[in-house]
Amino acid sequence: MKLMTYNILNGGEGNFDAVIQVVKNESPDFLTINEANGFEENDSRKLKDFSNKTGFPHYQLALSGEYDYHVAVFSKKPFKVVKEVIPLMRAGILVVIETNFGDLSIVGTHLTPYTLHRRSTAS
């Protein structure tokens, strides 16, 4: 199973097609996108478009507690459990997927780089 995390910097603004191509080239089974900014707009159009173009039938978006540092997770396997990790200054999602080795818990998160206190709280 191939896992990938990718910080696409401000929603991949100006580079969205290149981001899609990188993900397609790497072909992960599970992907976390950091800074999924704008993925929630227009009834999550960008989130759904990304899912369709990269071949991930299962996806979830967690909105950040501050600014636009959202996190999106994508999977080729169905989610058994999905929980937002809160409170965080930025965003986090815990998912559980079934694999050949048993259930796998994955946390996708975008932590602030500044201080431990700011990483663990929404304020």
Torsion, Cα 34 85 39 54, to 10 degrees, reads 60
State the average pLDDT over residues 65-79: 88
The reported pTM is 0.88
- Whether residue 17 is predicted with pLDDT greater than 90 in this model: the reply is yes
- Domain containing residue 98: CATH number: 3.60.10.10
* pLDDT tens digits, one per residue of 83-122: 988 766 678 899 999 998 999 999 998 876 666 665 555 5
State the average pLDDT over residues 23-38: 96
Q: Report the number of distinct structural domains present in the chain.
A: 1
Q: What is the DSSP letter of 77?
A: S
Domain containing residue 113: 3-120
Average pLDDT, the chain: 89
CB atoms within 10 A of CB 28: 19
- Whether residue 30 is predicted with pLDDT greater than 80 in this model: the reply is yes
**What's the rounded Cα separation, in Å, for the pair 109 and 77?**
19
